[in-house]
Chain A
């Protein structure tokens, strides 16, 4: 009993042929379907049977037709075939072929196909779900995008709701499966097959639902393993992740037997994985557990990061904290007495470990920034020079916070300092704003001054929203604590507010 392979190829036939030759080299039967639209010269496919019948356009039924025909040829010409593995021309076996064959021999009759009921399919990345079955999709999305969308809208308006053929429950899953010859024969020989093909011809992306649905109706329930033996992951917009040479070590450690897509230039992967195994070691089980960490990180990098920066990659627009957010919490100590602010900064510098917090002086003083080390250049050469700093003070501050994280950025802010920085201290949800004020009324006055923005051109002032965590510390108490050798409660509460260790008192905020 053998495992046969169906390979769907539509471009870079050289790579598809390399894969086919590798598999036939192990004596396994291979049928290759080449998209007739492909104009590349036909390379040598080894002993594989090659045919070209159906336009394999993305998302269209041609892919399913090609698969059905190829599987039928394989089963007809190689009656001893027990399993058929479906692969694409850009797949690679990341485990030796004999290992896969042994694995399948020990599981006769098993069907490995991802098949998720459409109702619970959070499987879909950025696309339609149950509407794949209930609406008509006669148009190719890739070429006729506008008409495609119109047609969907019109059908939604008309509340079109197609009926599934009798006995089928809609299921979705990866296009890449490995089915038993028994199940495939059941599908190919079923008298209802022509009717099913007609129905699926106008569903959306039939290659992701045709076999996935039919297996549930015709396959052996006991023998169904609803997981794919091929690793194929998609990004947030439904594009497949592509593997390159630098993924070799990671791919060598995964459980699935095949992976796609492989970049056609990934010479190292082809060299690495298309070799005869020196010792066919065999693993017992198959859980299809995938280490998703790299994919999760890629997703975050695409959708969320780097927080708090504007770069050539990102320019978050819109209102609210997103506009000029920051990467991490930071603290601003605002007050009216510049000497007290300087003394408080010095005390905090002594008290907080350098690895935890960097306490600057007045970063936004009119004569220029006072960095913690007193230098004329801050981290990453952020300039102390007032003109440069005030060119875009919000970005100056956001860059500083980003540059020093996870070390907390702390600075003092006195009257007359760059107003836009003060507004940011009120507006940014990452800001811990400490007001040195004798009473709530004074705190409110300082806060109101911070939040007031003059839009210029004679227009009335604008009050910025308040998202910062605000704490009030009594300046007289703080003065006493600074004079005392061992500090005191006011200095403690200042340090706690700055480091975010204490639940901040909301009294100033409440009254503001």
Chain B
């Protein structure tokens, strides 16, 4: 009893701390194009980008098709025309910052600041430009229908697994063309190589696995990147993301899974990171050391050198959401 009170209090302090840091980091954000006054009803998407001009056109179209009505983007000092591209879209609001990605806890503080200002009362998607949300029936039902279902179920958000997709050949030969569906270039994934644990403090699930575990972290699985994400959340005042979209506070928002032997509806976040542009990113990011855990992941990738292949004879080719449900990679949770 005493312990749970103490935990509750310390979680509250932690959440307050996040809110304060977000408010402080908000000062680094400089509005370039603020069109939020004209946002129609519907889900809105938050993203933090750096040099993503290649990926953004498809990304924006993908989420527009799913029913996202407005995009709120933070541009972290891009120099490849990303800012111009975003500012030119009528449904995008853009902020720019020269601040440190790492000091902003990998963008979380910036996004928390924007969320606090623009998201309360709405369903929000938070995704990177290489993350594509897939959920049950996503070919026939758009996000507002899913959000209505989650509202009716009293489910605070949608749990997903980050599914790394890759091409058949080496990563640097997996060519991503502008405006192209990354799944066309990188349609393969690991179907069963995943482990799930529960985080004691935040109660979110902690999922690891996929090609990054088996190729880059084979000798130190504990350090492999987390694949659990909650990219779709009903936003209320006082909520914060903690580490990327892996978990939130208050921690009841992380309970997007069933503990009685059933399933809650969930999704998959297709992660199209392993394409040719990664090589340039790795070089740059190793220089900047601006990523999580001292860019451990990028270092691991760098150590492998060129010619890294993620594909094996046991890889599975992506076919659609039904296949993901059949493989147990996501669940309808009884969404008829």
Chain A interface residues (CB < 8 Å from chain B)? 235-237, 239, 241-247, 263, 265-266, 294-295, 298-306, 309-318, 322, 375-383, 385, 387-388, 391-392, 395-396, 399-400, 402-403
Contacts and interface: CB of A to CB of B under 8 A. Distances in A.
Given A314-B264, A388-B221, 20 more contacts: A242-B149, A243-B336, A294-B336, A295-B336, A298-B332, A301-B263, A302-B263, A312-B207, A313-B258, A315-B259, A377-B314, A378-B314, A379-B314, A381-B190, A388-B213, A395-B194, A395-B196, A399-B193, A399-B194, A400-B192
A263 B145 contact: yes
B193 A381 contact: yes
B268 to A, nearest CB: 9
B29 to A, nearest CB: 31
Contacts of B312: 376-377, 381
Nearest to A310: B196
B331 interface: yes
Nearest to B136: A301
Interface of B: 137, 140-142, 144-145, 148-149, 152-153, 159-161, 190-198, 205, 207, 210-211, 213-214, 218-219, 221-222, 228, 256-266, 312-316, 327-336
24 contacts: A236-B334, A245-B140, A246-B141, A295-B336, A298-B332, A301-B263, A303-B262, A310-B205, A311-B196, A312-B161, A312-B330, A313-B257, A314-B259, A314-B262, A315-B205, A315-B259, A317-B259, A377-B313, A380-B190, A381-B193, A391-B195, A391-B222, A402-B192, A402-B328
Contact of B333 (A313, A383, A388): A313
A339 B336 CA distance: 52
A244 B141 contact: yes
A318 B263 CA distance: 16
Q: Which 8 A-B pairs have the closest CB atoms?
A: A380-B192, A302-B334, A380-B191, A313-B331, A313-B263, A310-B196, A312-B159, A313-B266
Given A301-B334, A306-B263, A383 B214 contact: yes
Contact of B140 (A244, A299, A302): A244
Contact of B263 (A235, A244, A311): A311
Give chain B's interface secondary structure class.
Answer: loop
A317 B137 CA distance: 28
B188 to A, nearest CB: 10
Contact of A241 (B211, B259, B263, B336): B336
Nearest to A302: B334
Nearest to B330: A313
B152 A314 contact: no
Contacts of B196: 310-312, 315, 395
Contacts of B261: 303-304, 314, 316, 322
A315 B141 contact: no
Nearest to B204: A312
A315 B257 contact: yes
B336 A391 contact: no
A309 B258 CA distance: 12
A239 to B, nearest CB: 5
Given A239-B152, A244-B140, A395-B195, A314 B334 contact: no
Contacts of B160: 312
Nearest to A246: B140
A237 B260 CA distance: 14
Nearest to A247: B336
B69 to A, nearest CB: 13
A242 B331 contact: no
A265 B145 contact: yes
B262 A298 contact: no
A398 to B, nearest CB: 10
A313 B265 contact: yes
A395 B328 CA distance: 13
